[in-house]
Amino acid sequence: MQDADIVALRDGHVMRLVIDRPSKRNALNKAMYERLIALLAEADADDEIRAVVVTGAGGTFTAGNDLEDFRKPFDNMKEFPALRFVRTLAALRTPLVAAVTGDAIGVGVTMLLHCDLVYASRAARFRLPFVDLGLPPEAGSTLLLPHRIGLAKASEIMLLCDAFDAEEALRLGLVNRLCAGEEVESMALEAARRLSEKPRAALAATRRLLRGDAAAVAQRIEEEGALFAAALTTREFRSRLEAFFARRPASGDV
């Protein structure tokens, strides 16, 4: 089933979600976020779905949020689909596995912090460019990333906004395993199938304990969201946004 550049497939007890917008390097727009939210809710509501795999088509995971969405003001940032998407990720009860088929930028990185297992192509590159755009990070990442990799390295990645490669992501513990690009999805699907066969109550309890304080994560998501919304209205962000588009041809990628 395909809708709004998201392909949803069923493989036994596994739901496979493919971000399929290669002309924009799989950048996520409002409609795509809405579709992902609906599909993740469907997975949580369906007892037959025991795990979800998310991946990207065309050799890219996702270039992050489509910045075109930010060129128009929002009536209610709290209801903005990107914010509701990260809330959904944080509360997801179904095990989530990522197959990072190529570049992961912005939310393409922060969403990985909510995945149970992450597999990546050796050619993948990762970047959190929020500060360079005049924005704070999102998805609870200012809490989750330092917890995962330590404050010093998290500060370097978030403040300097430099890209890092798959070997560094593996060393830091952001991904579980690296493989050739054509093998990433099959490795993730195999892991998801294994998860789908585990005793459900024990798996759910273990995931809940591993994730730690859910209320703290939810609170940080809201704090980041409020700061993000405020930053979108600043002159600095607007000037950086327009400079970004000035560097891109009309048909260019995000």
Encode pLDDT of 192-237 as tens digits: 999 999 999 999 999 999 999 999 999 999 999 999 999 998 999 9
Quick check: 47 pLDDT over 90? Answer: yes
Give per-residue pLDDT as tens, 146-174.
999 999 999 999 999 999 999 999 999 99
Pair 254, 67: CB distance under 8 Å: yes
Overall average pLDDT of the 52-66 stretch: 96
Q: Report the distance separating Cα 25 and Cα 34, nearest Å.
A: 18
Instruction: Please give the backbone phi and psi of residue 27, each rounded to the nearest 5 degrees, phi first.
Output: -60, 140
Phi, psi of 52 (to 5 degrees): -125, 140
CATH for 2-246 (2.60.120.430, 3.30.70.1880, 3.90.226.10, 3.30.980.20) = 3.90.226.10
Q: Where are the beta strands (DSSP E) in the chain?
A: 2-3, 6-11, 14-19, 51-56, 96-100, 104-105, 117-121, 125-127, 164-165, 177-179
Domain positions in the chain: 2-246
Encode pLDDT of 2-30 as tens digits. 556 999 999 999 999 999 999 999 999 99
Tell me the whole-structure pTM to 2 decimals. Answer: 0.93
Check residue 247 and report its DSSP letter: T
Angle between helices 214-232 and 200-211 (to 10 degrees): 60
Residue 26, number of CB atoms within 10 A of its CB: 32
pLDDT in tens, 117-151: 999 999 999 999 999 999 999 999 999 999 999 99
Write down the residue that tokens 């010093």 correspond to: 152
CB 166 within 8 A of CB 175: yes
Of 138, 131, 117, the C-alpha closest to 225 is 138
- What is the structure's pLDDT at 4? 64
Return the pLDDT at 254: 32
123-158 as b/e: b if 16+ CB within 10 A: ebbbbbbbeebbbbbbbbbbbbbbeebeeebbeebb
**pLDDT number for residue 74:** 67
* Residues contacting 43, CB < 8 A, separation 6+: 15, 49, 52, 92, 94
